[in-house]
Amino acid sequence: MSRGTGQLRLEHLVVGEIPVLYVRTPDGPAKRPVVIHFHGLEATKETDLLYAWTLAKGGYGVALCENPYHGERAPIQRKGPLDVLRTCFESALVETLLLHDHFAARPDCTRDLLLSGRSLGGFRALLAAADLVKEGKKPKALVALGAGGDFRTLLVRSQSPFLKDPILRQVLGSQVGETLIRHFDPLSRVKDLAYLPIFLCAGADDKTVPVEATKALAEALGKAGGPHEMEIVPGLGHGLDARLESWALVFLRKYCAPGD
């Protein structure tokens, strides 16, 4: 289904089993790059519509994708935090490939692969990017908002009730938890991410994903020689604002400008 809202055109799609809100402007390039964007924990694909609008006005198509166990994909029986995190992380690569293949086949989209994510979605995008090399596909750029690495610091300092779940903390403190952290922490995948231009942005007052997690990944990427940029927004918590959105647009244009 497609409908217009002023300067925006929204298409409600289902790609495989993934509900997608595809955002673009009615004008712009005949073929435009598509940014695949994953939303944050306990949010929905519509949560980041204003961010998508900023990118769409800049000439991009933006695919706002529903994470597993969220929004339209929420199960009748609520899943525990460990199930949610594990499923979101384990499905990141497969869902990214499925989404990219769908949009690359459209006559109004280029084949460029651009990734974006906020909070949980930022971690999903980073993990997908780390595995994409093995699939012979390299994103041109990635934007991670309110995300980073160093799960141990995140779990200790986060004020998120979701991440403070006692069962989750107990599991992550076990040997099984150590294995999961090593496997899913972007900090442990830096060598697989060093090829990729990455923009990291976080609020200085973020209590959900502490800014130390973002700084830790930026430092590790720097040591690995990865082409990354980082912005810390004074006074911003775990959210988005116009500064962050405009910086993300400028970053994407450096590596894959619409119309190129």
Tokens 């497969």 locate to 94
Task: Say how far apart CA 199 and CA 228 lie, in whole Å.
Answer: 6
Task: Say how far apart CA 105 and CA 92 lie, in whole Å.
Answer: 20
Report residue 254 as tokens: 């450096």
Q: What is the predicted pLDDT for the residue at 2?
A: 45
Tokens 């994407």 locate to 252
Task: Say how far apart CA 230 and CA 198 lie, in whole Å.
Answer: 8
Please state, rounded to an integer, the average pLDDT across all residues of the chain. Answer: 91
Q: What is the predicted pLDDT for the residue at 4?
A: 46
Give exposure, 204-233, as e/b (b: 16+ Cβ within 10 Å): eebebbbbbbbbbbbbbbeeeebebbbbbb
Give exposure, 169-180, as e/b (b: 16+ Cβ within 10 Å): eebbeeeebeeb
pLDDT band for position 6 (50/70/90)?
low
Q: What is the CATH number that goes with domain 2-255?
A: 3.40.50.1820
Task: Say how far apart CA 164 and CA 167 lie, in whole Å.
Answer: 9
* Dihedral angle of Cα 245, 96, 126, 182, to the nearest 10 degrees: 150
Could you report the per-residue pLDDT of 138-191, keeping only the tens digit for each?
999 999 999 998 887 787 788 888 888 887 777 777 776 777 777 789 999 999
Mean pLDDT of 51-55: 96
**Is the pTM above the cut of 0.85?**
yes
In angstroms, how far is CA 246 from the centroid of its own chain?
A: 16
Question: Could you give the C-alpha distances from 248 to 20, 95, 108, 198, 244, in angstroms and in order?
Answer: 21, 23, 23, 10, 6
Beta bridge partners, 62, equal: 23, 35
Mean pLDDT of 103-113: 96
Q: What is the predicted pLDDT for the residue at 165?
A: 83
For the chain, domain boundaries: 2-255
In sign, the C-alpha dihedral spanning 86, 90, 96, 98 is negative
Report residue 126 as tokens: 């980073």
Mean pLDDT of 219-236: 94
